[in-house]
Amino acid sequence: MSEITLRNITKSYGSHLALPSLDLDIPKGSFVTLLGPSGCGKTTTLRVIAGLEQATTGEVVLGGKTVYSSGTGVFVPPERRGLGFIFQSYALWPNMKVDRNITLALSEAKQPKQVIEDRLTEALAKVQLTGLADRYPSELSGGQQQRVAVARLIAARNSILLMDEPLSNLDAKLRTEMRTELKRMHRELQATTVYVTHDQVEALTMSDIVVVMKDGVIQQQGSPYEIYHNPANLFVAEFIGDPRINLFEGILSMNGSDRILRFEDSTIPVPARLQCGDGPVTFAIRPENITIVERQGPFSLPAEVDIVQPTGSQTIISLSVKGQRVTVLIPRFETSLSRKNIWIEFPADQLTFFDKAGNRVPLQQPVLGASHAA
């Protein structure tokens, strides 16, 4: 069931159309991330859901209730939408101690004293801040302050949580820790969560669904697996993945009854089920899917090793194939390859093809029972 529905949302700032027409259904209890480059409309979308920004046209439905409709003139203000927020600056009240920061909304909602105390104790324990209730925010580290903001959400028990780049002010180590915290919080609260980030690692590690946006338009929405392995178009393919996906131009043709891809002087077998005609084509392969081989084989390409960068558990290898740059990622610490001539192979089932418009070429679905037909 959809907990958040955006229908035909447009948003203009003066003459600038930030959201040309957005439709989005967010299932109840899911963790959905809006991901995209700066200025693509992520924050605007979140603020429209929150009611901090009024859409120009369209409809917003939260938990089955219309909170905005340009058609009927409905606009429910943010404080009456039953939402919890965390934004970049965690917006703790500097003049209030941790306990008051966490329980302010509960006491304003006139919750019984015992309920407030129980929720405070529980929330502090969940973010591992028990014992720090009596401190002011300025007496806490950045990560601890962020956890107070998380504790506030835990205590409020809102069914919808909105987060806008909540980890961007933290250092790399704390970000990783807080990712785990937020994911744990989501598992425990089961609140429908909309999370805005331009950090693909956050999106891939935390989300049930990733919504990739560009220029206010959704490019693809799907599980992290789908987004990474089956990018809908070249923009998504290039935006997701670090190191970046390799892109090449080749030519598809037939060789007898086999479909082949000509790339430089080599031929590479390709899936027969590829749904596009012969001729020039853009194809892509992720760095970790390229195989380095010891000896020349029928489908191998000669490559010259340029730069080798071990990162600890992995090594990024920059190669040159006939003057074209190719990035390979191998899952180990490797230093012995420097300045060698090697061969690489592109496994056919790891190639993704894109048509002239930049959209992924699908594979024809196998016919069920075909193997028994004969």
Ligand X SMILES: Nc1ncnc2c1ncn2[C@@H]1O[C@H](COP(=O)(O)OP(=O)(O)OP(=O)(O)O)[C@@H](O)[C@H]1O
Cβ 352 to ligand X shortest distance, Å: 26
The pair phi, psi for residue 310, each rounded to 5°, is -75, 135
Cβ 211 to ligand X shortest distance, Å: 12
CA–CA gap between residue 49 and residue 60 (Å, rounded): 7
CA–CA gap between residue 271 and residue 333 (Å, rounded): 32
Which C-beta is closer to ligand X: that of 195 or that of 346? 195
b/e map 28-61, b = 16+ CB within 10 Å: eebbbbbbbeeebbbbbbbbbbbbbbebebbbbb
Cβ 34 to ligand X shortest distance, Å: 8
Cβ 217 to ligand X shortest distance, Å: 12
Which C-beta is closer to ligand X: that of 39 or that of 302? 39
The pair phi, psi for residue 337, each rounded to 5°, is -85, -10
**8 Å CB contact between 353 and 360:** yes
Q: At what angle do helices 113-126 and 98-108 cross, to 10 degrees?
A: 140
Cβ 43 to ligand X shortest distance, Å: 3
Cβ 368 to ligand X shortest distance, Å: 42
CA–CA gap between residue 326 and residue 270 (Å, rounded): 19
Amino acid at 168: S
CA–CA gap between residue 368 and residue 114 (Å, rounded): 61
Which C-beta is closer to ligand X: that of 133 or that of 163? 163
Which C-beta is closer to ligand X: that of 36 or that of 58? 36
Which C-beta is closer to ligand X: that of 215 or that of 304? 215
Which C-beta is closer to ligand X: that of 154 or that of 213? 213
Instruction: Calculate the CA dihedral of residues 244, 250, 254, 260 and round it to 10 degrees.
Output: -40
Which C-beta is closer to ligand X: that of 52 or that of 132? 52
Cβ 50 to ligand X shortest distance, Å: 12
CA–CA gap between residue 178 and residue 16 (Å, rounded): 35
Footprint on this chain of ligand X (rule: CB under 6 A): 13, 16, 18, 36, 38-44, 198
Cβ contacts of 30 within 8 Å, gap of 6 or more:
3, 192, 193, 208, 209
- Of residues 239, 181, 259, 241, the one with CA closest to residue 40: 239
305 burial via Cβ count (<10 Å: 0-12, 13-18, 19+): middle
Cβ 59 to ligand X shortest distance, Å: 19
Which C-beta is closer to ligand X: that of 170 or that of 260? 170
